[in-house]
Amino acid sequence: MKLLLIEDEHRLADALSYLLKKSGYDTDIASDGETGIEMALTGIYDIIILDRMLPKLDGISILQEFRHEGFATPVLFLTAKDTLKDRVQGLDAGADDYLVKPFSSEELLARLRALSRRKNKELVSAKITIPEMMFDPLRGEVTKENEIIQLSVKESLLLELLMSNLGQVITKERIFEKIWGYYSGTEIANVDLYIHYLRKKLNTTSIRTVRGVGYFFEDKQYVS
């Protein structure tokens, strides 16, 4: 699961990043509000941990803009402000949960697990079905002509991105950010490689190339 931590206290951010990565979360850090909203709006994160008091742009403003842009990604709000008014303001701005500093690592991880379960429940019914195949993103399985094809994690994420945007061209850069991460040390050529893997494994011609731009999953219902 990919997580974005927006926190300006470097010592706390480093400690949380270590804890989160040790607990299995692929974590990126933003240390100010402007960087945080820019990273959040890439749409590549499954959960966002957001501090309230940040330089350049505060947490409430980030949350309001993020929700205004239509993102439903779970957001856990961190703050030293613990009055009822502050909690209500954070929740009304679009936070899914609210954690007051100081907090224990056990409580933070428990709240993240709860947000993860909520997100996974939404995915249970999110099977993508087209005439050619049925894809279950939660299991990473494709059912095609009564055959079940198991995908790797990266293949599954890539296919979900393409099939969720049926007929729409997605740039290589967008695919790379979504699948490999904002600060990934891997090469963007991995996009082409995994497209090749998917085409071969699924034995499909529906994954189309727009040369110099990116890829899209062809909606054959509208192809004559």
Q: Residue 185 sits in a domain of what CATH number? A: 1.10.10.10
Residue 23 predicted with pLDDT over 70: yes
Average pLDDT over residues 71-89: 82
Q: What is the CA radius of gyration of the chain?
A: 19
Q: Residue 40 sits in a domain of what CATH number? A: 3.40.50.2300
Instruction: Work out the pLDDT band at 143, boundaries 50, 70, 90.
Output: very high
Answer yes or no: do 140 and 214 share one domain.
yes
Answer yes or no: do 113 and 34 share one domain.
yes
What tokens were used for 8?
A: 């300006």
* Count: domains in the chain: 2
Answer yes or no: do 31 and 96 share one domain.
yes
Answer yes or no: do 108 and 204 share one domain.
no
Residue 142 predicted with pLDDT over 80: yes
Answer yes or no: do 28 and 102 share one domain.
yes
Find residue 97's DSSP bridge partners.
Answer: 76
pLDDT tens for each residue of 24-73? 888 999 999 999 999 999 888 889 999 989 999 999 999 999 988 888 88
Instruction: Work out the pLDDT band at 208, boundaries 50, 70, 90.
Output: very high
- Asked if 71 and 95 count as a contact pair (C-beta separation under 8 A), the reply is no
Answer yes or no: do 58 and 108 share one domain.
yes
Give the Cα separation of 207 and 56 in Å (integer). 41
Answer yes or no: do 66 and 174 share one domain.
no
Residue 224 predicted with pLDDT over 50: no
Last residue in a domain, options 123, 149, 164: 123
Give the Cα separation of 31 and 126 in Å (integer). 34
Give the Cα separation of 25 and 1 in Å (integer). 5
Instruction: Work out the pLDDT band at 140, boundaries 50, 70, 90.
Output: confident
Residue 90 predicted with pLDDT over 70: yes
Average pLDDT over residues 12-20: 91
pLDDT value, residue 87: 77
Answer yes or no: do 117 and 168 share one domain.
no
Answer yes or no: do 110 and 139 share one domain.
no
Give the Cα separation of 157 and 161 in Å (integer). 6
pLDDT value, residue 222: 47
Last residue in a domain, options 83, 105, 123: 123
Last residue in a domain, options 56, 91, 123: 123
Give the Cα separation of 142 and 140 in Å (integer). 7
Whether the upstream peptide bond of residue 102 has omega within 30° of 0, thus cis, is: yes
Answer yes or no: do 97 and 163 share one domain.
no
- Asked if 100 and 107 count as a contact pair (C-beta separation under 8 A), the reply is no
Which residue range is the domain that position 83 belongs to? 2-123
Average pLDDT over residues 94-116: 86
Answer yes or no: do 25 and 74 share one domain.
yes
Answer yes or no: do 30 and 84 share one domain.
yes
Identity of residue 94: G
